[in-house]
């Protein structure tokens, strides 16, 4: 019999590897994933996973990898998700989830209570999210990924969700994005964007081009 493979968070000795997202022949308990999309570790060591394509939830684990709880379900109501595709934290009290299918960012506290929802044409359809040390939120707006569509932007938002700056657009030229899939911010403030179809990583320095 061919072993059944599912997604699960498995801790290992630090000398080997921090964690694995695959488990052979394991049952589907609450801690089993179904196509997870992103992960971050809180300062207290707890692990938050956007379990996106099928479970449509955020799952929380303790530092040992033991399941604690989860929140969210499929839907468009506040607190529900349609492909939670990215997750990040400000390192203090807020969790940001890129709710891709619903074209919005949802903000929760560390216990999963909904705090705020950011959406609108200025934000677009977030595919990935990251929080910089100054608390500003960086988003890759993948849009509907239609050629010629006025999306495919990277955005910087302030703590209130207002756009500070944006750049890019659909395309393969430098500074454009073809299916921007995720975004992160380095210690020096440089912004990195990965493109699924474009098959590249672009680095942006503050005040500079790629």
> Which tens digit of pLDDT belongs to each residue from 134-183?
999 999 998 765 445 557 899 999 999 999 999 998 888 999 998 899 99
Which are the contacts of 163, defined by CB distance < 8 A and separation ≥ 6?
A: 122, 123, 155, 156, 157
Interval 183-191 mean pLDDT: 95
Percentage of residues in the chain having pLDDT higher than 90? 67
- pTM confidence score: 0.85
Percentage of residues in the chain having pLDDT higher than 70? 80
In the predicted structure, residue 131 carries a pLDDT above the cut 80: yes
Domains of the chain: 35-204 (2.120.10.30)
C-alpha count within 13 angstroms, C-beta hemisphere, residue 175: 8
In the predicted structure, residue 12 carries a pLDDT above the cut 60: no
Count of positions (residues) in the chain: 210
In the predicted structure, residue 31 carries a pLDDT above the cut 90: no
**pLDDT (tens digit, 9 = 90+) per residue, 72-130?**
999 999 999 999 999 999 988 899 999 999 999 999 999 999 999 999 988 989 999 99
């Amino acid at each position: 019999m061919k072993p059944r493979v599912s997604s699960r968070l498995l801790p290992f000795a630090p000398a080997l590897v921090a964690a694995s997202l695959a488990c052979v022949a394991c049952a589907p308990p609450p801690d089993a994933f179904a196509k997870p999309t992103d992960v971050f570790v809180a300062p207290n060591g707890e692990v938050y996973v956007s379990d996106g394509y099928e479970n449509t939830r955020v799952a929380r684990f303790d530092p040992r990898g033991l399941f604690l709880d989860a929140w969210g379900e499929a839907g468009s109501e506040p607190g529900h998700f349609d492909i939670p595709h990215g997750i990040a934290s400000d390192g203090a009290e807020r969790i940001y989830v890129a709710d891709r299918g619903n074209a919005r960012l949802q903000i929760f506290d560390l216990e999963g209570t909904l705090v705020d929802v950011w959406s609108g044409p200025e934000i677009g359809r977030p595919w990935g999210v990251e929080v910089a040390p100054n608390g500003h939120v960086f988003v890759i707006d993948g849009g509907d990924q239609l050629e010629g569509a006025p999306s495919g932007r990277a955005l910087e938002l302030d703590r209130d969700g207002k756009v500070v700056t944006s750049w890019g657009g659909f395309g393969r030229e430098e500074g454009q994005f073809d299916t921007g899939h995720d975004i992160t911010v380095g210690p020096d403030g440089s912004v990195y964007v990965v493109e699924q179809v474009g098959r590249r990583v672009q680095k942006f320095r503050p005040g500079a081009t790629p």
